[in-house]
Amino acid sequence: MWLLLDAGNTRLKWRLTDGHRLLDGGAVRIGEGALVDRLHAAFRKQITIERVIATNVAGDVVGATIDLLASDGFGCAAEMLLPSAEYRGLKNGYTNPAALGADRWAAMIGARELVRGAVCIVDCGTAITLDWIDASGAHQGGMIIPGRRLMTECLVAGTRQIRLPEPSEALEGKLLGTDTASCVAAGTFGCVAGMVERTVQHMGKGAEVTCLVAGGDGAAFGAHLAIPHRIVNDLTFHGLLAFANG
């Protein structure tokens, strides 16, 4: 069995795989208690882990935790997916390829496994990222904006009159709001929908484009896009699995 890890800004997520399929998974929040202990507790089942393959944008401390989990917990070295200039025909569009987030690179690898054609990747997590890959596999660049919680926190912190109730996991889906909370929710939807739809309109130029929407808020945001799209919650893990299989 292989263990795939995706350390993001807020959570460390994992999936098990037999090398062919994505199997069971879970997540723990980063910064709440001893991460190694909680990860060990998650794998107290008698599972033989032969490989640990990971992507990490959470910093060096979490990277060291992943290394420790792999070496002490499973007796193997963690294999880290790092961005490169090119991977099996996928070309990194960053001026400095190493500066691209490893999670975005993994998602792009996963997208190329699922789609052979132009693809727009929208990952809705703590931050919302958009990446465009043309039909030849060339990454044309991307966009980054705050996720829904960061947008809301910025409004509350930077204004005197906007005060919202305790945040809810539910996302309002109205085009326009009728109170402050629903207006803020409508604004976050409009921001993301406008970014995605404008990009597809200008970059696609009428050609066939597949829009893949991922991340914890992906399904909620995707439900309000006025363009065809597919929800792929495990896009980063699809990329990690493809990378692991070389």
Higher pLDDT, 172 or 195: 195
Q: What is the pLDDT of residues 7-33, one digit of tens each?
A: 988 889 999 999 999 998 888 888 755
CB 28 within 8 A of CB 11: yes
pLDDT reading at 129 higher than 90:
yes
pLDDT reading at 35 higher than 50:
yes
- pLDDT, position 205: 83
Exposed, middle or buried: residue 121 (CB in 10 Å: 0-12, 13-18, 19+)?
buried
What integer is the mean pLDDT of 21-47? 75
Q: 3-state DSSP call for residue 179? A: coil
- pLDDT, position 161: 66
What confidence tier does 170 reach under pLDDT thresholds 50, 70, 90?
very low
**All structural domains of the chain with their residue ranges:** 2-80, 86-102+116-244
pTM (2 d.p.) = 0.89
Nearest to 172 by CA among 164, 163, 181: 181
Active-site pick, 37, 67, 72, 103: 103
> Mean pLDDT of all residues in the chain?
87
Q: Is 103 a catalytic residue?
A: yes
Is the domain spanning 2-80 CATH 3.90.1530.10? The answer is no
- pLDDT, position 43: 66
Is the domain spanning 86-102+116-244 CATH 3.80.10.10? The answer is no
Element (H, E) at 22: strand 22-29
Q: What is the pLDDT of residues 85-126, one digit of tens each?
A: 999 999 999 999 999 999 999 999 999 999 989 999 999 988
